[in-house]
Amino acid sequence: MTRTKSLKVIVTTLTLLSAVTLTGCVATGVNQTSTNSNYLTGGYESVSASYLDKNGELDIKGDDLESLLVGGKALHDSGYWRQSAEAFERAEKLLAWKSDSVDTPAEVAKLLGTALTNDTLASYNGKIFEGVMLDYYQALNYLMQGDESKARVRFNRLNDRQKNAETQLRKYTETLSKSEKNTEGEKKPSENEQKIIAQTENEAGDALSKGTLAIPVGVKSNEIRNPAGDLLGAVFRSTSISRSDKQGGVIDGLVNHASTKGVSADARKFAGKLGTELKSAKQNHIFVIYEDGRGPSVDEFRVDLPVFLISKDVLYSGIALPEFKAGQVVHAKIKAQSGKITDDLVKVSDLNRMASLEFGSSYEGKVAKAVTSAVIKTVAQAAINKEIDEKNQGNPLAGLLMKTAVAAGQAALTQADTRSWFNLPDSIHLGVLKRDSSSALRLSNQAGEELALVTLPNVEGDVLVYARQAAPGGELKVYVQNLPASAQAASL
């Protein structure tokens, strides 16, 4: 092949790749902006409607993990427990991280170690903490349907997942370290490119660290667990009809983990209080779950690299990096009142802290991968542009158009992977009250303003009140389930 034909092939290939990349990302991603705005304009039903067919059955096409996770949670929030469970069952098969394995999945390790592969072109593998949350919501799905048998299976699986999550996180971090050293089968940067990479990182400076500015400080590895899952599992076992659920010290183990490793002193204190209440001979409690706000997400930001380190004859040289975006709080404090008994709900799970562990662990590697990839591509772009100039000395316009095509191809291929389970809550709050003669539960905000007046079942016994508000000014959704659960929860 002649140099001229080779040049045309390269330019054409880059142009085609840019078109494929741009259309592919639009087709596979979930529109976060429209989903979030729908919560405000139409409430939960408006959001969940896009995941159901005309007969009310699950309607999520294909095997896109992000769509199944987001859709499953939207359906869960709207009380479509069965359809949500179906979505999560499909999502679980696609999630690379399994509940019964601690090793880093091969597909994750392969992607991490591939410097020149655009992450957005690969299937979304999910996160460790997303597996934890999937099992948590599946347990709730079956509990709210009144199916104790399936709920028990899911709470057991959640317990296994929680135990393995810390080990998975450690193994994942180790894999990240190894992937930086293991580039077998790849074109390694030349000695000159390695020098340029080091110079580029030094020149870019603090601009590269923007992606981690919103990560909470002081997060510990054990916070990959969901304490709300531990405590709800203890509530389920304590209130179920099965005697075996109350044997073997499982309830105490779940409570003890939350009481010793909770995210705050208040959360640890609450776990101890709940443990005491669960041992009460008279089972006549109101257990409250409140999910607040919108959880963390991932955005993209771009950094223009100092191209003078390579060549002045380059039209584009930049990288796209993921940026951790903290969740949005609706109510920092919630008070529950039944008759003369009041209780401040306690934040026991912080999704920002859970999600930040994996993001923070992988960020440095993603920066290194992005810079290395950009330098290699830009060196190639400079060489192509030089050849373009040589072949188009009498036609500068044609040369410029070809250079623009090359730059457009590189820019299109420079994208950060922003896929995430973005409609999780910002935080999960729990509370427990002893029931008195009152038949209602009042939920109010920090200013004392009433948010909901929940009518309780007119029978003695334990009851679960499950509330969710995703956005300021948005709908507050409330469900009530008798414990032990034997029928579908009531929606208020």
Q: Is the dihedral of CA 59, 88, 93, 171 positive or negative?
A: positive
Q: Is the pLDDT of residue 99 over 90?
A: no
Beta carbons within 8 Å of 488's beta carbon, 6+ residues apart? 81, 144, 145, 146
- Cross-strand partners of 481: 464
Q: Is the pLDDT of residue 163 over 50?
A: yes
Beta carbons within 8 Å of 78's beta carbon, 6+ residues apart? 44, 45, 47, 48, 477
Q: Residue 484, preceding bond cis, omega within 30 degrees? A: yes
What is the per-residue pLDDT for 13?
Answer: 45
Tokens read off for 351: 């999704």
What is the per-residue pLDDT for 412?
Answer: 52
Q: Give the pLDDT band (50/70/90) at residue 207.
A: confident
Averaged pLDDT, 349-358? 96
Q: Give the pLDDT band (50/70/90) at residue 382.
A: low
> Any alpha helices (H) in 189-345, and if so which ranges?
191-204, 227-239, 250-261, 265-278
Instruction: Look at 12-21, 329-338, 346-355, 450-459 and tell me which has the smallest mean pLDDT.
Output: 12-21
C-beta atoms surrounding 46 within 10 Å: 17
pTM for the whole thing? 0.86
Averaged pLDDT, 303-329? 72
Averaged pLDDT, 453-482? 93
Averaged pLDDT, 291-309? 82
Averaged pLDDT, 440-451? 95
Instruction: Look at 201-205, 381-385, 478-482 and tell me which has the smallest mean pLDDT.
Output: 381-385
Averaged pLDDT, 386-393? 59
Q: Give the pLDDT band (50/70/90) at residue 64.
A: very high
Q: What percent of the chain has pLDDT over 70?
A: 76
What is the per-residue pLDDT for 355?
Answer: 96
Query: How many angstroms separate the CA atoms of 262 and 35, rounded?
Result: 32
